[in-house]
Structure 1
Amino acid sequence: MIGGGASGTYAAVRLRDLGHSVAVVERAGRLGGHTETYHDPVSGGSTDIGVLIYHDIPLVRDFFGRFGVPLVRYTGQGGTTNHYVDFRTGLVVPGYTPPAPVALPAYIGLLQQYPYLDQGFDLPDPVPADLLLPFGEFAVRHGLESIVHMLNGYAQGLGDILRIPAIYVLKNVSLSVINSVLTGSLLITERRDNSELYEKATGWLGPDVLLGASVTRVRRGQRGIQVRVTTPHGPRVIHCRKLLVTAPPLLSTFGGFDLDATERAIFGRFRHHHYWTAVARLSGMPAGVSLVNVGADTPYNIAPLPGWYGLTVTGVPDLWGVKYGSTGPVGDQAVRAAIVADLRRLRRAGSYPVELEGLEVFKGHNPFELVVRPGDIAGGFYRRLYGLQGRNGTFYTGAAFHTHDSSLLWRFTEELLPRIAA
């Protein structure tokens, strides 16, 4: 496994279950990918960053259950209030309230027309033209204006949702997501520590996990596959029959790989967006208040990017979660500086007497949300992408092959396992 995020960890555990030897190569110092947890030494509380909630499906309960990580229903942050602020000015937007979601039934009806989107990118040929429209046009055509701002809140990290092909919004705010929200069936870990799953999986996999490791060379042939990696303990050579790539399939990921012309042409079509999360320790911020970034003068009041999605209550005293996005590349230091400047602007504007005591966690989840252009989708890009499964002994899973949703990625990976294990 190249990559030890949600998909790579799940695949490693399940392939071991099926009697196969595995090796996980992960460049970070831990498994879990976008999943991270901050344990507050002041209050003793914990808050999750990146991946927060899960769908209530048997596969999810089984995976957490095998490692003794209890799950409970997600009931939201009780007693919290949203305030609507334009972070460009630091001012509360006067009179703004979110529109009533009267178009939600119509949106659900549209999702039901495309049930295959909940399973991956196994698209019909031809691809329905509506799915290729910029989502802003799609929303107007189908009368979804009242829920565009709401969908933008769920589709964090997708960049400018009014401009990207509608298919990506429908996949991220999918029928599974809507049903889980409406039925109140979303799950969180009882101890508010999603990372516990990956810590226990790391222990279970033992020396088969190489953390802080980077791939330097991959050679795939009829006699097997050789993967050379550097690790904190020196170079290693892994010999295997199959390779599973779960890292984002950009050309930059495949340095040292012996990609053939077909693989290179397909992966070269991807572009991506940018997303950051942080945990801010604040003083002067009213307890129980979350700030939603809205544009006072923008279509659907969607806040311009780069910029905040919002500042959210974590349930841990004095800690708030930060969500920040961009359509184009921005350096981590520039994002940190923007977060600090925007919090100071809230104070200078007289909106909130907030002081930043520090960013306890700051994480870039980049590259985030790999997409291709409408013409590529119409031209069969995803059919060709899926056609790479098994080519040169290599298989693929992860968000680029489905969506940024750990539960649905585990299901996608589970369905791929028979082919990998054959």
Structure 2
Amino acid sequence: MLFTLFLATSLAVLATTLPTINTDGYAPSSIVTRDVCIIGGGSTGTYSAISLHDKGISVVVIEAQDRLGGHTNTYTDPNTNETIDYGVVLFHNISVVNNYFARFNIPLTKAVLSSPGETSTYVDFQTGKIVAGYTPNDPTAALAAYAAQLAQYPYLETGFVLPDSVPADLLLPFGDFVTKYALQDMVGFLFQFAQGLGDLLSQLTLYVFKNFGLSVLQGVQNGFLTTLDQDNSEIYVKALAVLGQDVLLTSHVLAVDRSASSSGGCVKVLVQTPQGVKLILAKKLILTIPPKLHNLEGFDLSTEETSLFLQFQNSAYYTGLLRGTKIPDLTTVNNIGAATQYNLPILPAAYSITPTRVPGLHDVKFGSANALPDEQVKADIIASVNRINAARIFNSTAEPEFAVFASHTPFELTVPKEAIEGGFYKSLYMLQGTRETWYTGAAWHTHDSSLLWVFTEGVLQGVLEGL
């Protein structure tokens, strides 16, 4: 009841006059007419654009960053010229992945998750001290039991098409699910592998299953793929070369008007670009950015869209590369809670500090249940390294610094248990195609580029109808 009252009150506050765009007064040079307008040039936005382009469909992509790729981050070390992927690292060995990279003549290889001779040290980052007596559990048996539970819900591999009566186990806090099925020995492994979920034990089991599903388990067992050159951004560089001026980088949406779409008219999108304001006229719209209301300012959202998107909550996830830690090049430092359940560290905190193939350069991942300012995250990470150095674990008094840093926030988009029970995802999926608008991205499936490309293929089938 309280949730319903909150939602109704919030909708009333958000109720405004929907934007309309008058096409008069725009010079021909500022009007872009395309079959499809794609908002967001990350993993699914770029995939959509290339797939449609290759089918002879005209597209335009609006991207806020100065590059394509979204959560794919690649750093080129100025001293060695080596590339390091510190965002998206792994891909599944499935046909959609192999075909997509082959389309750009980018060879793939089996990913190496750890280097020969690599060791792990287990440290409580709150104190900087080694957790005495800690040894990670062998997760093998628990992972098999977890897989047996996952196998009961094969539909989770393709999206959020849930049964009308959602199974009770999927709506359990994951900590309760672990206890119910005696999965304690896999919790530490899962926490480190399936990062970005926020408070893992409080997260609904549905979202843990989505993040760490059967496909991921198969990858853990059989291996993942990565690019031969260890440069996952290469596919986005080559995609940009193919799409050319059909990509508007460093641009943001000012207004979206879909009022005429129901009567056969076009979708109108007003965009601020570095070259000035552009008016885009398109037959269809694909939205790939996280559907949080602050991302959709200027959109002519319906009451249904607003009521659904308003319910999304999110965790936060950050990544970066550190210099000057003086942590040995073949050493991973895992964050372990000295006196916590399952020895899980208390978030917000760094998950681990891991070596890269560049000497002296370490990868760091940081998670939080809520969004934090970038500078606060960076300061927290540096403070953690300084505590480790002060404890003289590696006999170092180094002064670490960031070579590069990126925020992947908002990350895991979730809704409360009562929303799921009330048919949230059924209502969300019914938005597909309304007012010539189609949706893809992690909120509609999971944070996994490989699986999202499969999901996007299904969305594009609907987009292509009528074009």
- Give the distance between the partners of 1:276 and 1:98, measured in 2 at CA: 25
Letter in 2 for 1:189: T
Matched, 1:411 2:454: yes
Q: Which runs of 5+ in 1 are unaligned?
A: none
Secondary structure, aligned partner of 2:73 = strand
- Give the distance between the partners of 2:49 and 2:292, measured in 1 at CA: 22
Matched, 1:149 2:192: no
Letter in 2 for 1:395: W
Task: Write out aligned runs for 1:212-291 (5 A).
Answer: 212-220=250-258, 221-222=260-261, 223-291=265-333
| Aligned residues between the structures | 421
TM-score, normalised via structure 1 length = 0.98
Matched, 1:350 2:388: no
Letter in 2 for 1:202: L
Determine what percentage of the aligned residue pairs are the same residue: 47
Corresponding residue for residue 201 of structure 1: 239
Letter in 1 for 2:89: L
- Give the distance between the partners of 1:32 and 1:64, measured in 2 at CA: 14
| 1:175-201 CA distance string (max 9 Å, x none) | 0000111012x1011101000010000
Native 8 Å contact 1:285 1:354 kept in 2: no
| CA displacement at 1:351 relative to structure 2 | 1.5
Deviates more, 1:146-155 or 1:108-117: 146-155
| CA displacement at 1:281 relative to structure 2 | 1.0
Corresponding residue for residue 397 of structure 1: 440
Task: Write out aligned runs for 1:291-370 (5 A).
Answer: 291-352=333-394, 353=396, 355-370=398-413
Matched, 1:33 2:70: yes
| 1:170-226 CA distance string (max 9 Å, x none) | 111110000111012x10111010000100000100100000000000000231100
Secondary structure, aligned partner of 2:203 = coil
- Give the distance between the partners of 1:373 and 1:363, measured in 2 at CA: 28
- Give the distance between the partners of 1:164 and 1:357, measured in 2 at CA: 33
Q: Closer, same or farther in 2 for the Cα pair 1:283/1:135, shift >3 Å?
A: closer
| CA displacement at 1:314 relative to structure 2 | 1.3
Secondary structure, aligned partner of 1:54 = coil
2:179 to 140, 144, 151: 140
- Give the distance between the partners of 1:381 and 1:354, measured in 2 at CA: 52
| 1:97-139 CA distance string (max 9 Å, x none) | 1111121111010010000111110111101010000000011
Secondary structure, aligned partner of 1:284 = coil
Secondary structure, aligned partner of 1:229 = strand
Q: Closer, same or farther in 2 for the Cα pair 1:243/1:298, shift >3 Å?
A: same
Corresponding residue for residue 229 of structure 2: 191
Native 8 Å contact 1:277 1:321 kept in 2: yes
Corresponding residue for residue 12 of structure 1: 49
Native 8 Å contact 2:329 2:356 kept in 1: no
Matched, 1:96 2:134: yes
| CA displacement at 1:329 relative to structure 2 | 2.7
Matched, 1:69 2:97: no
Corresponding residue for residue 10 of structure 2: none
Corresponding residue for residue 51 of structure 1: 88
Native 8 Å contact 2:271 2:277 kept in 1: yes
Return structure 1 stretches of 4+ with deviation > 6 angstroms: none
Q: Closer, same or farther in 2 for the Cα pair 1:194/1:356, shift >3 Å?
A: farther
| CA displacement at 1:386 relative to structure 2 | 0.5
Secondary structure, aligned partner of 1:50 = coil
1:107 to 142, 146, 156: 146
Letter in 1 for 2:114: Q
Task: Write out aligned runs for 1:379-398 (5 A).
Answer: 379-398=422-441
| 1:216-241 CA distance string (max 9 Å, x none) | 00000231100000011111110001
Q: Which runs of 5+ in 2 are unaligned?
A: 1-37
Secondary structure, aligned partner of 1:35 = coil
TM-score, normalised via structure 2 length = 0.89
| CA displacement at 1:356 relative to structure 2 | 3.7
1:173 to 208, 212, 215: 212
- Give the distance between the partners of 2:204 and 2:333, measured in 1 at CA: 28
Native 8 Å contact 2:382 2:400 kept in 1: no
